[in-house]
Structure formats: structure tokens, C-alpha cells
Amino acid sequence: MELNVEIDNHSGFCYGVVRAIEQAEKYLDENKELNSLGSIVHNSTEIERLKQKGLRIIDYSQMSTLKDKVLFIRAHGEPPSSYKIAKENKLRIIDCTCPVVLKLQERVKKNYKELKKNDGQLLIFGKHGHAEVNGLIGQVDGDAFIIEKNSDLDLVDYSKPVYIFSQTTKDPGEYRKICELIKQRIESVGGPADKFRAFNTICGQVSSRHPHLKEFAKKHSVIIFVSGKESSNGKILYELCCSVNPRSYSVESKQEINKDWFRSGDSVGVCGATSTPKWLLEEVAEYLNNLSNG
């Protein structure tokens, strides 16, 4: 079976994840163990590799009992409460919050103060329970509505001022649609349209991948999308591939690839999420090339 395989050069870790993993590896090169508050990246294959080096993933209950240790804060960021516990427990922090997320946290905190002067409401477009979203609502002591789907908009009072921010890894198109729906609802109740503000807080590196990936998926007959099942960004980008190429398949590793997906002469595009390591894309491409040669 002859296959032409191409790796998408825009896929793979975003800057924030690259920086976090580099810092974790640097520490583990000189120390036996590192406690990470949550998974550094939503990719089980990469996490397994880091665990072999000594990475230990802990949750909030485990952090509360940790004393005089090193705590790693991943790119997703954390709410102020995590820093408070770390200080009380004398934990030394390696803070790898992505600079884009850090800036967003500061903007949320600053604009919330302005909004509350006018009895306004803060909205976060993002996934319930996502680490980055938890970090954002933590900046305002939980006083925000999380908008994950259209029905969540029913919770909002449109006669009051509304500010909305987006989780940095969300789909820009979906965010625009949500913002349009909010405008329509404000108009329908005669609310203060001039007091509605939608902040552009989707990471530029992430948003630029959407149009590129669409073109990449169109030009190949088969797409192999490599991503961890827990990756929020992965789900969005995989759906984008499927929307333009019905022969798109999502896998976590080469072991999940089915030979029946391919026909001789297929052009196969290998791509992935911002949480997919480049070495894993290369491993999948090598497997496909071996299929072709075999």
C-alpha cells in the first residue's frame, strides 16, 4: 500500500506548554521528584514519559498535606487560593503559568472591579472544570458565569452590564457566535448595549491554527489527528478537521491506527493539538510510512 505522509508543521505544543515541560525536565535532571499540581499537559503518552523522569501529579487534597516541598504550577494557571495554601505549607513554587494566561488573569481581575461598580456580570466562555477556567474564576472569588453552551446564557440578566472573556484555547468562531447571541439578548430586553464588552482573549498562536488546519485537512485524503482524550483544544481542532474532511480519525498513539482506514495512493496528513508533542506526531508518521513500505 502506497501512502504519502505529511506532518503539519503548525501542530504540536504551544509556547506555554513547551516552556512548562522544559522547566519540569530541567528540574528533574537534577532532582529525583517533582510535584505537579495537575497534569502538565493533557496527553497521557507525554505524561507517562515525564513520570519515568520523576514527575508526580498531585491534586488539591494532596497539596494541602504537602510540606516543605517543591510545587510545580503548570501553564493553565491557578487561582489565588492555591498560592495561599502553598505559602502556608512552605512549598517552593516553580510557576510555569503561560504568560498569555497570566495576562488574562490580570485583565479579568482589573475589569471585574470596574464592572462591579455598575452592578455588572462577568462571563467566562470556557469549559466547566477546566484548569484555566478555575484559575480565572478564582481571580474574582467565583463571582462569574461559565458559558460552555448556549443554554448557559439563560443564567444571565441582560438588563445589567455584561463583560465576557474567553478561555485562551477556545474556538474563535464559537466565541464570536456566543458574543452575537449576547448582543441579541441585550437588544431583546432593551438592556445597556453600550455596557457590553467582549474581550479578545483567545491565544493568537491557538487561533491562527484554525484556518491553517482547515486548509491542511482539505488538501489530504485522510487525516490522522493525534491528541489526548482529555484535551479540550484537541476536541475542538479534531471537530474542525472532520468538518472539512470526513476521513479524519482521532488517535492517542500509533497503536490505535487501523490499516483499513487507508487506500493505496492516499495522501495522509498527520496533525495534533497544542498538547500533542512533536515526537509523537513523528512516531505516528513513521508508523504510517512503514505501512506504506510494508
Residues designated as active site: 132
The whole-angstrom separation of Cα 44 and Cα 92 is 26
Q: How far apart (Å, rounded) are the C-alpha atoms in residues 37 and 62?
A: 9
Q: What is the β-pairing status of strands 248-251 and 4-7? A: unpaired
Contact yes or no for 96/19 (Cβ under 8 A): yes
Cell reading at 208: 491562527
In 10 A of CB 157, how many CB atoms? 13
For residue 213, give Cα distances in angstroms to 126, 129, 202, 268.
Answer: 21, 27, 17, 14
C-alpha cell belonging to residue 98:
503561560
Contacts 24+ apart (CB under 8 A), 65-70: 66/35, 66/91, 67/91, 69/35, 70/27, 70/31, 70/34, 70/35, 70/94
